[in-house]
């Protein structure tokens, strides 16, 4: 996907992209899931993204864990997606932790994609 830049009042502004995964953790499995998220964070940061893991205490799907992957712009987002889909370490981790694991500690409740809303 082509890099998208917002030009506002003569200023060029890159728009950050946030890819958010909301996880519902199964009872008694929180610590196990935290370990998995720490591993995923390390791998994805190695691929060039900023990762933030949030513990949602109230609101939609709470309590839940929100795993945010941040890219600086659409170009960086596209490049990251390519890396994530081909990285042997990430693919092996994901397969073992969730794809091939019927007894996984959490389930995806929501996936969202958002961009910065420039306000001036």
118: pLDDT strictly greater than 90: no
Most confident by average pLDDT, 2-6, 13-17, 46-50: 46-50
Mean pLDDT value across residues 34-42: 96
Long-range contacts of 101-108 (CB under 8 A, 24+ apart): 105/25, 105/26, 105/29, 105/30, 105/32, 105/33, 105/36, 106/23, 106/24, 106/25, 106/26, 106/29, 106/33, 106/36, 106/65, 107/23, 107/24, 107/26, 108/21, 108/22, 108/23
Note whether residue 33 is domain-resident. yes
Note whether residue 100 is domain-resident. yes
Note whether residue 81 is domain-resident. yes
Note whether residue 5 is domain-resident. no
CATH number at residue 59: 3.30.70.100
pLDDT in tens, 57-107: 999 888 999 999 999 999 999 999 999 999 999 999 999 988 888 899 999
**In this predicted structure, what is the pLDDT of residue 14?**
60
Mean pLDDT value across residues 32-37: 95
Note whether residue 120 is domain-resident. no
Predicted TM-score (pTM) of this structure? 0.82
Note whether residue 9 is domain-resident. no
**In this predicted structure, what is the pLDDT of residue 100?**
86
Average predicted confidence (pLDDT) for the chain: 88
**In this predicted structure, what is the pLDDT of residue 26?**
96
Note whether residue 1 is domain-resident. no
Q: Give the residue numbers spanning the domain of 54.
A: 15-115
Count the domains in the chain.
Answer: 1
Note whether residue 20 is domain-resident. yes
């Amino acid at each position: 996907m082509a890099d998208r830049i917002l030009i506002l009042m003569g200023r060029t502004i890159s728009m950050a992209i946030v890819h958010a995964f909301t996880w519902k953790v199964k009872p008694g499995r929180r610590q196990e899931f935290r370990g998995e998220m720490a591993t995923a964070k390390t791998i994805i940061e190695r691929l060039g993204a900023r990762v933030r893991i949030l513990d949602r205490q109230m609101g939609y799907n709470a309590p839940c864990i929100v795993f945010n992957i941040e890219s600086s712009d659409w170009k960086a987002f596209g490049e990251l997606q390519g890396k994530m889909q081909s990285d042997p370490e990430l693919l092996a981790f994901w397969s073992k932790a969730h794809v091939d694991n019927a007894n996984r500690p959490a389930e995806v409740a929501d996936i969202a994609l958002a961009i910065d809303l420039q306000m001036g």
